[in-house]
Amino acid sequence: MKKSAKKVHEENYQPQYVTQAFKVIMGQAGKSSDRTQEPPASLSNGLESGIDLMTLVQLPATQLKRTVTFYVEVLGLRLEYPERPIESNTFVQTTPRIGPGLHILETPNSEFRHLHGTVDGKLKEYLAFYVKSLVQLHERLLQAKAEIVMEPSDGYMSFFDPEGHLIGAYERTDSGINDRFESNITGFRHVPMHVADPVRTAVFFERALGFERALPDEDAIYLAVNSGEINQPMIQLVQAADPENPQPMHWILDGRPKHGLELHSKNIGALKERVVENGGALKEELEFTGCGGYLKFYTPDGHYIWVNQDRSYPDSFKPERVPTAFKVHAVGTTNLHKGEEYSQMENTKAKVIFYDSLQVRLVSDLEKSLAYYRDVLGCEVNYWGHAIRGGMKLILQQAMHPSDVKSNQASAKRDNYPTDWTGPDMGWDTFVHINYDEFDSLIEEMKANGANIILGPIEKTHNNGMSFKNLYIQDPDGYIIVFGQ
C-alpha cells in the first residue's frame, strides 16, 4: 500500500502555535481549523512535574524469539540484557542507547492486536524510527523477505515486522547525531496517537504534561518533551478514523491493560493533579517506593500511559501524616533483658523522615521471579524489579552468578523474647503482617495460585495468652516468606 511522503526538515523542529482549544478554554471566542493562523506563544508550563523523558516504547508479540531476532539481526538493534534468555519479554536498543528503548512482550493470540491504525483509509505506522541509511535498511529487509509497504521515497519507507506491525523509517542526515551511533537505526522519530480531536488532545499534553509543539504538518500535530534532552521522540497526534472509538495505543496482557508508551517525570505527585485537572483519568493511586513510583492514567481519548519517577520526592508531596513510631525519639538503651521494652527519650533535634523501605533480593532468573511474585503472590511488578503488595515491598535484582543467590539461615535461639518463644526453626527472608481474621482467605488464595507452601498453616498460643498463625511460602530461589500477625 502506498502513502504520500513529505520530506521533513529538522531545522523546523521548534515550538509552533497555541491551539484554538486553548483559546476556548481560556474563554476566547471563535474557532478556526487553520492552525497556522493562531498566534505564537510560549507553551512551556514551567512545571517540574512536566514530562522530561520518554523512557520506553512497548510492543506485543505472539512469537517473541522470532520478533526479537528480526529487530536485532535485520534492523540492527541490540539486546539490552544479552545475558538473559529471551522469555516473556525482551528489551532492545540502539547502539549506544540514546533515547527510549523498545520493550517487546510475549502476548497470547487471544490478547494480541496490532497497534497501528488508519488515517483517511490508509494504514498508519505504529512507530517510526530514524535511520542513517534507507538504502541499507531496504537491502536488509529484502534479504529477510520482509513485506515492504512503501518503497524508499523522499526520505521515508515503511514495512511490516514479523508480527504484522506497520513500522515507518525516516532517513536522518544530521551527522552530528548519526556519528554518535554504531547502529543504522538512531532512535525513534515519533509514535502516532489516534485521537478524536488532535487540537483538543494537544491542549491536554501541553497543559497537563508540559509537552510543546514541534514539527509543523498539515495532517498531524507533533508534540515533544520540553526538557532539552537529546534524541527524544515526538508524539504524533492524528485524526482517528472513528472519533467515537479512537484506536488505543495499548493492549491487554494477562487480563490487564499494557501501556505502549512510558514517560518520566521528576514529580508524579504534582503531575497527577495536572492530569486530573485537565481531564485525565487515574488507573490507580500513586505507588511510591524508595526508588520512586508510577503514575498510571488514561488520556481523555482513552490511551493508557505510565509515567515513572525515579528521583527524590519533592517537598510539597511528602505524606501529610507521619506515623507515631517515626516521630522524634531516640533509643535510650539497647541492653535488653527478658520482658523489657526499648526505652525512648525525646530528641530536640528533628530527624529526617524515612519513608518506604524496600528489601533487595538477588534472584537467579528475574523474569521468572517477577512472574511468580505477580501471579502467585499477587504483587504489582514492573521492570525496575519492584514487587509490591500493600506493605510488602521488594526489589528483585538479577544475580551475576547463581552462587550469589542465598536465602537466610535460621537465626540463633534466645530466651529473652517477651514471651516463651525462642525464635524460628528455619530461616526467614521476609515477614508479612496480615489481619488475623483474613488468614484463612490468604491460605485459599495462595493454594489457588499454586504457591509453594512449605510449612503451615500453624497456630500457637504464647504463655502470655497471645495466639498467632503463620504460613511459610517459598519462592523459586528458596527465599522464605512468612505470613503472620
Number of neighbouring beta carbons within 10 Å of residue 319:
10
pLDDT surpassing 90 at residue 183: yes
Strand pairing class (292-298; 287-289)? antiparallel
Same domain, 365 and 434: no
Q: Is residue 218 part of a domain?
A: yes
Per-residue pLDDT reduced to its tens digit, 69-115: 999 999 999 999 888 889 899 999 999 999 999 999 999 999 999 99
Question: What's the rounded mean pLDDT across residues 336-361?
Answer: 58
pLDDT surpassing 60 at residue 295: yes
Same domain, 366 and 294: no
- 456: containing domain: 430-484
Q: What CATH number is attached to the domain comprising 457?
A: 3.10.180.10
Per-residue pLDDT reduced to its tens digit, 44-63: 334 477 899 999 999 999 99
Same domain, 66 and 137: yes
Residues 398, 402, 406: CA angle, nearest 5 degrees = 85
Same domain, 52 and 126: yes
Considering 15-24, 127-136, 237-246, 270-279, the range whose residues carry the highest mean pLDDT is 127-136
Same domain, 108 and 255: yes
Same domain, 382 and 289: no
Same domain, 397 and 442: no
Distance between CA 29 and CA 23 in Å, rounded?
Answer: 7
DSSP 239-299: E-SSTTS---SEEEETTEEEESEEEEES-HHHHHHHHHHTT-EESS--EEETTEEEEEEE-
Specify burial of residue 51 (Cβ count, 10 A radius: 0-12, 13-18, 19+): buried
Q: Is residue 425 part of a domain?
A: no
Confidence band of 169 (pLDDT split at 50, 70, 90): very high
Structural domain total, the chain: 3
Same domain, 147 and 260: yes
Confidence band of 355 (pLDDT split at 50, 70, 90): low
Q: Is residue 137 part of a domain?
A: yes
Q: What pLDDT was estimated at residue 28?
A: 35
Same domain, 216 and 273: yes
